[in-house]
């Protein structure tokens, strides 16, 4: 019986088909599971026929209905895996199929496709132009080096004509996938050794023999990042019948490598720019961990309740709603987990106060004690020094290092400050209140005495966790193999968390991985948004150096972000209403549009204007269910982790981003000043990187200095 495999290129077209056409595809695919190869070839309804003038002799078309054809790669080497590569209108099917050539990459051993005709037509003219060019993009790499990385003769000839990155991008759709990725990273200044490690080695099977000309079936089996082999009937019904979620099936090799590695000797750190599938990798890791033993328990944490809800939903999808598996995973925020621990082990828990309330308390403390520091300084000292190092006594405070703080505090000054801490804590006790971080500190203490609660901890959105929260996670699982799997992006740090994971007993050295392919946004949005961060460097997740967005890229293309300033806020909001109408006119559902601003005041105005214009609108903070129609409104902070087809970021003015009140004056603490500015910059970056297809950024009056080209 033949086997059936689906290329990712097929899903892009399948997803857009009308229901009856999809049913036709399903019916045709079932035949591949019911008939023998000779029966398939003889089947009148399927009409499996070769393509005239095809550059790949294995190319076949099949009939879906009068208008649609499927394009199939049929084995000609005695193996039996048929690969469905596309669904195309009848007239285009033959031209599409005739130009494509599938080959096995000599280095990765994966199956790749190229537009061989276009390459042949373009290369001679480009060679002429290249002869006159001042410099060529790949001149410094010898043919030998490129061949070792899997570049074949035709691609080598084309690569030798490329003068710059823009030209390389233009080649993207024509070149074989793995070879394009190799060239892309070389163009981005990665060394051939790094490219071999990150592109070739992650794909190449460990047992790859010397001969790259293996069968089509073997090449297909080597290409899990782009091809799904269907093993049984139920699986076929399931993947064709449900709304398709590519992330469940096709993982980038770098995602697969981190998520499905059998075991790690200790904590693992996975970083990557926005939309690189870190959350997806975390979810797959949970699936893997559950499969390794029948009764292990996993704690999966993220930053907000809304994100926890979405993790729960996606995990259920990935685990096929298997209740027994889902029961073994606790999905929650770190604060909620800590709250649960304290409630369970202490029997009661004071209620945590919010940031605003905390600030008010510090104000009262400063006033009452007549101290020479602002409430902002005291709150920061408490958060970044006292709670961060879990200092419980004056002696411990006197002995503590204040590295990272921009102002020195002599022993005498510390003695003067400590009563403020005591007063703050006694005021909390009086009110029978606490703070979230204090709950975490207590939870860590209780867990240290009672022992871990889980076998594995998986942490998403790790960049914003405070040391007190890390201590809870550290205590939730015993140190050892596969204890913590951590994903995060330091460029999205919006809550001023500074940690040294090593010092917290979470050593990740030697187990750090980076994801570079953005699956969410277009290259245009990504390039522009990366410009927001390019003037600065950010500390890495574990606090041991700096992080970088080098090599970060997207395969998607679309319009450039719409970036505009207006004379007044009124005009800006009016323009937004028009833009939203335009998007809806293009067929985008209101729920697929996200609108955000730094402050709720502006969001209120936007709400009223959209509402008055008859556009349904809801606030993200009200946690509307996914099926509730309405444009989503959120503050920039609440945009964390979310994504929308279209995103408008409003109010990006000099007064709001950065927001002066949230930035410590340089004369109070120069380091804190810099880090506050960085946090505000990251906030804009987070907001802008939520867009899948279109991004619009606007302001009225003076533009934010963080906007590329505005400083
Ligand atoms: N292998 C994949 N194939 C297809 N889509 C993917 C893949 N990996 C991730 N995605 C999609 O890309 C988008 C971003 O993924 P995800 O949320 O995991 O990224 P992230 O790195 O956690 O993002 P952020 O840091 O910005 O929150 C999601 O829509 C996800 O479904």
* Cα separation, 278 vs 259, whole angstroms: 10
For residue 236, the CA-to-ligand 1 centroid distance in Å is: 24
Q: Which residues of 150-161 are buried (b: 16+ CB within 10 A; e: fewer)?
A: bbbebbebbbbb
What is the per-residue pLDDT for 711? 61
What is the per-residue pLDDT for 188? 86
| Angle 384-388-392 from CA coordinates, rounded to 5° | 110
* Cα separation, 318 vs 196, whole angstroms: 31
Which residue's CA is the closest to the ligand 1 atom numbered 16? 277
For residue 281, the CA-to-ligand 1 centroid distance in Å is: 8
Q: Where are the alpha helices (DSSP H) in 43-141?
A: 90-99, 116-131
pLDDT in tens, 27-44: 888 888 889 988 988 998
**pTM value?**
0.88
For residue 252, the CA-to-ligand 1 centroid distance in Å is: 11
What is the per-residue pLDDT for 616? 97
* Cα separation, 223 vs 236, whole angstroms: 18
pLDDT in tens, 583-642: 999 999 999 999 999 999 999 999 999 999 999 999 998 988 888 999 999 999 999 989
* Cα separation, 682 vs 636, whole angstroms: 10
Below-70 pLDDT ranges, the chain = 243-244, 710-711
Q: What is the CA radius of gyration of the chain?
A: 28
Instruction: Label residue 371 exposed, middle or buried (CB < 10 Å: 0-12, 13-18, 19+).
Output: middle
What is the per-residue pLDDT for 243? 67
**Ligand 1 and 519: CB distance under 6 A:** yes
279 labelled binding-site residue? yes
**Closest residue by Cα to residue 477 from 345, 297, 330, 302:** 297
For residue 331, the CA-to-ligand 1 centroid distance in Å is: 18
What is the per-residue pLDDT for 491? 93
Q: Where are the alpha helices (DSSP H) in 541-695?
A: 569-585, 600-612, 670-688
What is the per-residue pLDDT for 315? 97
What is the per-residue pLDDT for 353? 93
274 labelled binding-site residue? yes
Q: State the closest ligand 1 atom to the C-alpha of 283, by its place in the atom list counted from 1.
A: 18
Q: Please choose from 12, 243, 247, 494 the residue to mutate so as to test ligand 1's pocket, defined by most ligand atoms within 8 A of CB.
A: 247
**Ligand 1 and 58: CB distance under 6 A:** no
For residue 82, the CA-to-ligand 1 centroid distance in Å is: 29
What is the per-residue pLDDT for 211? 82
209 labelled binding-site residue? no
């Amino acid at each position: 019986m033949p086997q059936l495999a689906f290329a990712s290129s097929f899903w892009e077209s399948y997803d857009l088909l009308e229901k009856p056409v999809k049913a036709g595809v399903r019916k045709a695919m079932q035949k591949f599971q019911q008939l023998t190869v000779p029966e398939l070839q003889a089947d009148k309804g399927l009409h499996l026929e070769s393509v005239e003038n095809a550059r790949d002799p294995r190319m076949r078309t099949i009939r879906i209905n009068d208008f649609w054809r499927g394009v199939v790669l049929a084995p000609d080497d005695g193996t039996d895996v048929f690969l469905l590569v596309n669904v195309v209108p009848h007239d285009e099917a033959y031209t599409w199929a005739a130009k494509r050539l599938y080959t096995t990459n000599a280095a990765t051993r994966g199956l790749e496709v190229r537009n061989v005709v276009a390459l042949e037509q373009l290369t001679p003219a480009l060679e002429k132009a290249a002869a006159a060019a001042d410099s060529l993009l790949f001149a410094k790499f010898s043919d030998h080096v490129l061949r070792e990385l899997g570049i074949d003769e035709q691609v080598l000839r084309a690569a030798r004509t490329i003068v710059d990155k823009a030209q390389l991008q233009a080649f993207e759709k024509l070149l074989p996938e793995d070879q394009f990725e190799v060239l892309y990273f070389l163009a981005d200044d990665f060394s051939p050794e790094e490219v071999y490690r990150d592109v070739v080695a992650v794909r190449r099977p460990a047992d790859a023999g010397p001969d790259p000309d293996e069968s089509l079936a073997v090449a297909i089996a080597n290409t899990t990042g782009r091809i799904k082999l269907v093993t049984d009937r139920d699986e076929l019904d399931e993947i064709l019948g449900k709304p398709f979620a590519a992330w469940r099936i096709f993982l980038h090799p770098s995602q697969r490598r981190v998520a499905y590695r059998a075991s790690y000797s200790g904590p693992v750190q996975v970083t990557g720019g926005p939309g690189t599938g870190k959350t997806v990798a975390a979810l797959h890791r949970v699936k893997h961990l559950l499969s390794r033993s029948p009764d292990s328990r996993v704690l999966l944490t993220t930053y907000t309740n809304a994100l926890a809800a979405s993790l729960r939903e996606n995990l259920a999808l990935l685990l096929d709603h298997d209740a027994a598996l889902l029961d073994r995973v606790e999905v929650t925020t770190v604060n909620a987990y800590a709250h649960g621990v304290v409630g369970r082990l202490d029997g009661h828990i004071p209620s945590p106060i919010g940031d605003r309330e905390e600030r008010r308390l510090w104000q009262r403390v400063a006033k009452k004690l007549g101290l020479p520091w602002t409430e902002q300084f005291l709150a920061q000292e408490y958060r970044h020094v006292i709670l961060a190092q879990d200092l419980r006594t004056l002696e411990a405070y006197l002995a503590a290092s204040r590295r990272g703080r921009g102002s020195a505090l002599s022993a005498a000054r510390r003695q003067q400050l400590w009563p403020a801490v005591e007063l703050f804590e006694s005021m909390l006790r009086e009110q029978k209140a606490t703070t979230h971080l204090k709950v975490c500190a207590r939870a860590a203490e209780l867990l240290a005495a009672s022992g871990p609660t889980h076998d594995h901890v998986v942490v998403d959105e790790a960049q914003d966790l405070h040391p007190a929260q890390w201590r809870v996670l550290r205590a939730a699982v015993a140190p050892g193999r596969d204890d913590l799997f951590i994903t995060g992006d330091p460029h999205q740090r919006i809550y001023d968390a500074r940690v040294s994971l090593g010092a917290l007993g979470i050593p990740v050295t030697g187990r750090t991985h980076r994801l570079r392919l953005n699956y969410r946004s277009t290259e245009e949005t990504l390039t522009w948004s990366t410009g927001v961060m390019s003037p600065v460097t950010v500390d890495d997740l574990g606090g041991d150096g700096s992080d970088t967005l080098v090599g970060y890229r997207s395969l998607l293309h679309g319009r450039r972000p719409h970036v505009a300033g207006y004379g007044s806020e009124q005009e800006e909001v009016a323009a937004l209403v028009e833009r939203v109408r335009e998007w809806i006119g293009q067929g985008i559902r209101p729920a697929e549009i996200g609108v955000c601003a730094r402050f709720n005041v502006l969001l209120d105005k936007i709400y009223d204007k959209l509402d008055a214009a008859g556009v349904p609108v809801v606030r993200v903070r009200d946690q509307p269910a996914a099926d509730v129609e309405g444009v989503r409104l959120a503050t920039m902070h609440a945009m964390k982790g979310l994504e929308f087809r279209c995103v408008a970021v409003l109010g990006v003015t000099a007064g709001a981003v950065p927001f002066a009140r949230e930035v410590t004056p340089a004369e109070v603490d120069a380091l804190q000043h810099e880090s506050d500015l960085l946090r505000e910059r990251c906030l804009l970056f987070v907001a802008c990187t939520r867009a899948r297809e279109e991004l619009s950024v606007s302001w009225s009056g003076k533009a934010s200095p963080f906007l590329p080209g505005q400083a």
